[in-house]
């Protein structure tokens, strides 16, 4: 690929979503005053006002940006444009469970991560502070933490409070970046349930909470600039080839950082000529299904945010040897009952089941212009849990006055997470990047995001994406991880 040559940079970062923005935040805190960083963003800035007025998070169609093949009815969702998925996410900001990182060693299935929960803990904390995450102190019993949540917990509904009393230490108010208390850039969450484009601007987004990197004079932000390929020569990344205003351009840099999400990161590498055995492989996400528990005389919908409770009753344990972990969300928005006086006696649930990544699920670059996401199906491990859900849920909900439990006949087409395709590991034979998100062979190339996840976890991925990006920025600049504590909040 040819084109005009732009000027040289210390680093080129592709994308402006969570992965790229959290990386930039930490990278700039450590970079010299004269550093020059180019950020290439495929979309444009659609600010909060534009999003509310237009009822969508971007002017670009994500559905048209890739092809799908394989399992009928399966889909993948994301937002293209400045801020990426932060514009449309729901703000559920969960840590993974410590045992998610050692699935193979503990339970003999899937893969271990090359790093541990403890390695990530200070970075989880730092990411939660940037997003002002709200959560309860008691959650530390399941997900250990060194500092309290930055914001107090959301209020549970009456039905959820009963569930919490029945399952002490396993059911909690949610951990979320939907503000419990107003911050300088965000209102408090009003539980309207319109979270994809929050009218109150209460959830964390890059636009309302992490614009500092883009105001830094060391950054050049180029919008409508689509990265096409990484320039590779003599085993090193020399820069990025990109398309801007119809022209193909080339920018040179010492470091290349891809933060374009797990579909596009893999596609960009494939177009650049990378042939790693695992590149594009193990595309995966959770299998999710919704349910409703109809209650006798117990009200719901008085929680203070849209997804208000989080249950770990079906999550970790020896069952994971043969049965996938399932995370239970109790949802504080939904359809009321029709019977007079009983409108609120229903508890909507979302059951999120981990999958075991399968190599045959993949991203391909068969069409040079658009990636193809090939999904053949979920693992038997996940499907077994789906099959046992009624029985499992009846047990979990037994302490509540449940009249009737309705579980959706079909799982959701997507949980809106995209994981795998540039898996991290210690062995270049079965992974693409190392634990610092550095490509095994091309050592000045970083591949950020949930593409690196070697195992699924039922927990939502974004907080972990952010923690990994903060850590990668430290590691690439040789910073002592302990220094994260000292710098927290200061940069
Ligand atoms: C409706 C919805 C709700 C969600 N809710 C939650 C939730 O509650 N909790 C949770 O943990 N996760 C949630 N997610 C998932 C979350 O949005 C993603 O995990 C997260 O956005 C991934 O971050 P990222 O930075 O890796 O990628 P993205 O956020 O997808 O950012 C990628 C960026 O790269 C840009 N880009 C892409 N290709 C190129 C290219 N070739 N050149 C230049 N730029 C490019 C994009 O425009 C974008 O800015 C949700 C997703 C959706 C769709």
Write down the H helix ranges in 31-174.
Answer: 48-54, 103-107, 117-131, 158-166
Q: Is the CB of 451 under 6 A from ligand 1?
A: no
pLDDT tens, N- to C-terminus, the chain (491 residues): 445 555 699 999 999 999 999 999 999 999 999 999 999 999 999 999 999 999 999 999 999 999 999 999 999 999 999 999 999 999 999 999 999 999 999 999 999 999 999 999 999 999 999 999 999 999 999 999 999 999 999 999 999 999 999 999 999 999 999 999 999 999 999 999 999 999 999 999 999 999 999 999 999 999 999 999 999 999 999 999 999 999 999 999 999 999 999 999 999 999 999 999 999 999 999 999 999 999 999 999 999 999 999 999 999 999 999 999 999 999 999 999 999 999 999 999 999 999 999 999 999 998 779 999 999 999 999 999 999 999 999 999 999 999 999 999 999 999 999 999 999 999 999 999 999 999 999 999 999 999 999 999 999 999 999 999 999 999 999 876 545 444 443 33
Which atom of ligand 1 approaches the CA of 228 most closely?
A: 41
Q: Which residues pair with 251 in a beta bridge?
A: 240
Residue with tokens 């220094």: 483
State the pLDDT at residue 367: 79
Residue 164 CA, ligand 1 centroid: distance in Å? 32
Q: Is the CB of 85 under 6 A from ligand 1?
A: yes
Tell me the C-alpha distance between 400 and 435, whole Å.
44
Ordered by where they begin, the domains of the chain are 4-487 (3.50.50.60)
Q: Is the CB of 214 under 6 A from ligand 1?
A: no
Please write down the HEC assignment for all residues of 384-426: HHHHHHHHHHHHHHCCCCEEEEEECCCCCCCCCCCECCCCECC
The pTM of the whole model exceeds 0.95: yes
Residue 87 CA, ligand 1 centroid: distance in Å? 9
Q: Is the CB of 77 under 6 A from ligand 1?
A: yes
Residue 79 CA, ligand 1 centroid: distance in Å? 6
The residue nearest atom 15 of ligand 1, judged by CA position, is: 417
State the pLDDT at residue 1: 46
Q: Is the CB of 416 under 6 A from ligand 1?
A: yes
CA torsion, ordered 436, 440, 442, 447, to nearest 10 deg: -50
């Amino acid at each position: 690929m040819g084109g005009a040559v732009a000027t040289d940079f210390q680093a080129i970062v592709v994308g402006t979503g969570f992965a790229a923005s959290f990386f930039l935040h930490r990278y700039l805190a450590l970079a010299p005053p004269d550093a020059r960083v180019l950020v290439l963003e495929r979309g444009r800035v659609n600010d909060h006002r534009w999003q509310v007025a237009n009822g969508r998070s971007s002017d670009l169609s994500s559905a048209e940006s890739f092809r799908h093949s394989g399992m009928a009815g399966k889909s993948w969702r994301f937002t293209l444009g400045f801020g990426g998925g932060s514009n449309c996410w729901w703000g559920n900001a969960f840590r993974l469970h410590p045992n998610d990182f050692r699935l193979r060693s503990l339970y003999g299935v899937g893969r271990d991560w090359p790093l541990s929960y403890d390695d990530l803990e200070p970075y989880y904390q730092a990411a939660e502070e940037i997003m002002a995450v709200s959560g309860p102190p008691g959650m530390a019993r399941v997900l250990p933490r060194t500092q309290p949540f930055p914001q107090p917990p959301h209020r549970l509904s009456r039905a959820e409070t009963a569930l919490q009393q029945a399952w002490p230490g396993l059911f909690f108010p949610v951990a979320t970046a939907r503000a419990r208390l107003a911050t300088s850039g965000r209102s408090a969450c009003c539980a309207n349930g319109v979270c994809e484009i929050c009218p109150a601007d209460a959830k964390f987004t890059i636009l309302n909470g992490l614009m500092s990197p883009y105001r830094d004079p060391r950054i050049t932000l180029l919008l409508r600039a689509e990265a096409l390929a990484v320039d590779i020569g003599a085993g090193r990344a020399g820069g990025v080839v990109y398309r801007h205003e119809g022209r193909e351009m080339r920018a040179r840099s010492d470091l290349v950082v891809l933060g374009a999400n797990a579909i596009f990161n893999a596609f960009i590498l494939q177009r650049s000529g990378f042939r790693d055995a695992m590149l594009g492989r193990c595309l995966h996400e959770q299998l999710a299904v919704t349910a409703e528990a109809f209650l006798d005389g117990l009200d719901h919908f008085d929680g203070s945010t849209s997804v208000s409770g989080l249950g770990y009753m079906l999550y970790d344990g020896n069952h994971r040897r043969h049965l996938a972990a399932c995370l239970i969300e109790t949802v504080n928005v939904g359809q009321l009952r029709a019977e007079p006086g009983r409108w609120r006696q229903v508890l909507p649930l979302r059951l999120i089941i981990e999958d075991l990544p399968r190599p045959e699920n993949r991203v391909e670059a068969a069409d040079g212009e658009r990636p193809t996401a090939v999904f053949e199906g979920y693992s038997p491990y996940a499907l077994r849990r789906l099959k046992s859900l009624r029985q499992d849920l009846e047990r979990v909900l037994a302490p509540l006055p449940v009249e009737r439990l309705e579980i959706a006949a079909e799982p959701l087409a997507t949980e809106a997470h995209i994981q795998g395709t540039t898996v991290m590991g210690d062995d270049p034979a079965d992974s693409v990047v190392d634990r610092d998100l550095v490509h095994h062979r091309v050592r000045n190339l970083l591949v950020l995001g949930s593409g690196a996840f070697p195992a699924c976890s039922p927990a939502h991925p974004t907080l972990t994406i952010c923690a990994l990006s903060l850590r990668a920025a430290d590691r690439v600049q040789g910073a002592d991880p302990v220094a994260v504590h000292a710098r927290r909040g200061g940069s």
